[in-house]
Amino acid sequence: MQFLSPHRGKPARLGILPGSFNPPTRAHLALAEAALADLDEVVLVLPRVFPHKNYQGASFAQRGDMLRAVLEHRPRLAAAASEGGLFIEIAQEFRAAYGPNVQLVFVCGRDAAERIVGWDYGNPNAINRMLETFQLLVACREGSYEPPPHLRHHIRALALPAGLGAISASDVRRRIREGAAWQHLVPDEIVPILGKLGEIYRSPE
């Protein structure tokens, strides 16, 4: 794991927000900031390899630049690059970096929680064992998430400000491609960056 921006030393409760950040949106930022009510720090994690998609649009370096710009003046938020893309791989990297005592909490939306809990890991008990090493903090995005009864004590709900749950990076890309307004959907810090990178999103996906 490689940190892309400054981070706190030894948080007791550490939030981990993985994503493709293509590009970072106001929803990503709202999710991280909402989680700070319960956590000491949140690290936005950009995997070098995704388990379910390839790099298209912005490159790894360009996405890292955008994350650094967004987080520069937000001291309780940081960015890092992980070698693995699965939550358990990312958790292992953070455990190695922060030690055995930190409590790891993955922050995600409803869609990601459904994918994580329902993923075929090749072992039906894999998710149970994973949630013994980290918890999930799940935001309601276009619907609430109802975890399986046997996992409820590992998964908690996170409230997002009204109107932000529907924002998505895919919608930002679509708007750029179609020449529609997109600036209100991303943090102000990356509007100039996206203005220069917009050409990479104008090709059909």
Report pLDDT digits (tens) over 11-68: 999 999 999 999 999 999 999 999 999 999 999 999 998 877 778 889 999 999 999 9
Using the predicted structure, report yes or no on whether residue 163 has a pLDDT greater than 80. no
Model pLDDT for residues 83-112, shown as the tens digit of each residue: 998 888 999 999 999 999 999 999 998 888
DSSP-derived 3-state class of residue 160: coil
DSSP-derived 3-state class of residue 22: coil
Q: How far apart are CA 26 and CA 24, in angstroms?
A: 7
Q: What's the whole-model pTM score?
A: 0.91
Instruction: Name the residue with tokens 């991303």.
Output: 186
The tokens for 74 are: 């937000």
Q: How far is CA 74 from CA 33, 38, 69, 123, in A?
A: 9, 16, 10, 39
Using the predicted structure, report yes or no on whether residue 159 has a pLDDT greater than 90. no
Q: How far apart are CA 158 and CA 155, in angstroms?
A: 10
Q: Which residues pair with 107 in a beta bridge?
A: 137
Closest CA to 193 of 8, 79, 22, 35: 22
Q: Which residues pair with 42 in a beta bridge?
A: 15, 77
**pLDDT band at residue 118 under the 50/70/90 scheme:** confident
The tokens for 124 are: 């039906």
Q: Which residues pair with 157 in a beta bridge?
A: 138
What is the maximum span of the chain, computed from C-alpha positions, in angstroms?
A: 49
Question: Could you say which DSSP state residue 105 is in?
Answer: E
Q: What is the mean pLDDT of the chain?
A: 90
Least confident of 22-31, 92-101, 119-128, 181-190: 119-128
Q: Where are the alpha helices (DSSP H) in the chain?
A: 26-35, 60-71, 87-98, 110-118, 126-130, 169-178, 191-197
